[in-house]
Amino acid sequence: MNAPKPRAAHPPGEWPSAEVAARSLLFSPLRLRSGLQLLGRTWVPAMVPWRASEEGHVTPEVLAWYERLARGRPAVLVIEATGVRAVRSGPLLRLHDDAFIPGLHTLVETVRRASGGETRLLVQIIDFLAVRRRPERSVWFRRFFQPTTEHRAALATLGQCVPAEDTAFREACIALSEDEEAVVLHPRELEDLRFGARERVSDTHLDHIAALPQVLPPAFAAAAVRARTAGFDGVELHYAHAYTLASFLSRMNNRADGYGGSLEGRVRLPLEVFAAVRRAVGDDWTVGARFLGDEVIVGGNRIDDACNIAVKLAQAGLDFISISKGGKFDDARQPRVGESVYPYTGQSGHECMPTTRIEGGPFSRNVPLAAAVRLAVRQAGYATPVVGAGGLCAFGQMEGILERGEADLVAAARQSLADPDWWLKLRLGRGNEVRRCTYTNYCEGLDQRHKMVTCKLWDRHAPEDSATQISPDGRTLIAPAWTV
């Protein structure tokens, strides 16, 4: 029997006194190119909590979630990935219509009030392509499979009788073993059958995919204008993980229309999206981007690609660059029938939200990527601030990253989820009260099942008061209160 992998140990708390915190780089200000003044280097990156309405509107639960995060007064809080096109996506926020502005305006006011005006508020804006649930096998063959002469020739090689009529041919295929169906179907069909159909940016035979370079720049620009109208301090363009613009940047993008292949081709649409957004919102409003320092998939982008992309984006005039890692569909685990493939289940996904079980541990794991990107950007002559993330959860750890110039801003997602007040506790010299994230991904498991995200530690620490919000399955929906 294999021994369980040892869990990585947390970096030591080394909690600062209030005086040390006040003198630290972590709590020192930074001015962005747009003129936005950040009061510190502390950053809560985007996290989807699955609390919007089915139509993508802000709900009281969304307000409560961000209000709670804002009470810890991070210098920057990034609102979850918010869709720029009218695509059904369940209870995730959207910005494809002016109807979303009033709700988002209330969200902005809520965060300003809760943070005493200290937290700058960005919204991450995203586009994604269609991903269908894994179908039941016979349903796929009967409803989606289009038999061709090639399929018939392949079935003949198996020594089987080959029905001429389509319905009978489909039934013959349903009777095949997994090995046999792999002979008959094209690799893409096999993937549709086994994982659910998933659109690619390279599917240029589909009109709506071919048209993405015309559709996305105005869609992102209009969403950014709405965000500005709602009162946000800026937007983060989501060029990371498994989504449309990350796929354009990827080495896997072999579009032949000038928007794929070479680095110039792959970066063209992300640059055009940025240019359209910048034109629409002006120079005095923050526009940054999050992309991958490493895709962690075979044939995908590595750090050298990320550095080249970063220099091009910095040259174009981004206000900040945020570096993430992995989170791709390409190596995701096969979903169960009726479920969708989830991009955080394969190796690339494990690198995106690393747990204490991962070889080498999650702590500062992705910082070398941010450091390499920052160095490349500086060597090219640009001062664009770089945000690092991944297992950041201790004062000395983050201060060291800033001192060594590995990043300009430090982002903590799960630690801020476990204890939204932790930034304030550090500032006030009360670090010994921080509720430390265990990095075992209970929260991520809920995200995977599209359930309202919570932290397992909240249940343990929640007071038994009637004001605490509880989910239908008995989970505490809001981090326990902390009094300064």
Q: Give the C-alpha distances (Å, rounded to integers) separating 127 from 41, 199, 238.
A: 28, 13, 8
Residue 410 is a binding residue for ligand FMN (CB under 6 A): no
Give the shortest CB-442-to-ligand FMN separation in angstroms.
Answer: 10
Q: Taking CB within 5 to 8 Å according to partner kind, which of ligand FMN, ligand SF4, none is near residue 324?
A: ligand FMN
Cα separation, 198 vs 324, in Å, equals: 23
Minimum separation from the CB atom of position 210 to ligand FMN (A): 27
Q: What are phi and psi of 455, to 5 degrees?
A: -110, 135
Rounded distance, CA 159 to CA 172, Å? 12
Catalytic residue among 66, 239, 243, 344: 243
**Shortest Å distance, C-beta 392 to ligand FMN:** 6
Instruction: Decide whether 353 or 457 has the Cβ nearer to ligand FMN.
Output: 353
Residue 273 class from Cβ within 10 Å (0-12 exposed, 13-18 middle, 19+ buried)?
buried
Q: Does 442 bind ligand SF4 (CB under 6 A)?
A: yes
- The CA distance from 47 to 241, in Å, is 13
454 near ligand FMN (CB under 6 A)? no
Binding mask 391-430 for ligand SF4 (x = CB under 6 A): -----------------------x--xx------------
Instruction: Tell me which of 249, 307, 316, 392 binds ligand FMN, using CB under 6 A.
Output: 392
Single out the residue of 38, 457, 477, 478 in contact with ligand SF4 (rule: CB under 6 A): 457
Residue span 73-102 as binding mask against ligand SF4, x where in contact by CB under 6 A, dash where not: ------------------------------
Q: Does 80 bind ligand FMN (CB under 6 A)?
A: yes
When CB distances are held under 5 to 8 angstroms depending on the partner's kind, the choice from ligand FMN, ligand SF4, none that residue 418 binds is: ligand SF4
Does the footprint of ligand SF4 cover residue 357 (CB under 6 A)? Answer: no
Q: Which stretch binds ligand SF4 (CB under 6 A): 136-144, 302-310, 387-395, 453-461?
A: 453-461
Q: Interacting stretch for ligand SF4, rule CB under 6 A, among 34-42, 122-130, 422-430, 440-448?
A: 440-448
Determine which residue in the list 41, 268, 414, 475 makes contact with ligand FMN, applying CB under 6 A: 414
Q: Cβ closer to ligand FMN: 110 or 415? A: 415
Q: Contacts for 345-349 with beta carbons within 8 Å, 24 or more apart?
A: 345/448, 347/296, 348/295, 348/296, 348/297, 348/300
Q: Minimal CA–CA distance to 325: which of 246, 399, 268, 264?
A: 246
By CB under 6 A, tell whether 172 contacts ligand FMN.
no
Q: Would you say 288 or 300 has its CB closer to ligand FMN?
A: 288
Active site residue 243: yes
- CA 343 distance to own-chain centroid: 10
Q: Does 462 bind ligand SF4 (CB under 6 A)?
A: no
Shortest distance in whole angstroms from residue 8 CB to ligand SF4: 13
Interface characters, 306-335, with ligand FMN (x: CB under 6 A): ------------------x-----------
Tell me, what amino acid is at 15? Answer: W
State the number of binding residues for ligand SF4 (CB under 6 A).
13
- Per-residue x/- marks for ligand FMN, 240-269, CB under 6 A? x-----------------------------
Residue 151, interface with ligand SF4 (CB under 6 A)?
no
Active site residues: 243
User: Which residues would be at the binding site for ligand SF4 (CB under 6 A)?
Assistant: 414, 417-418, 437-443, 455-457
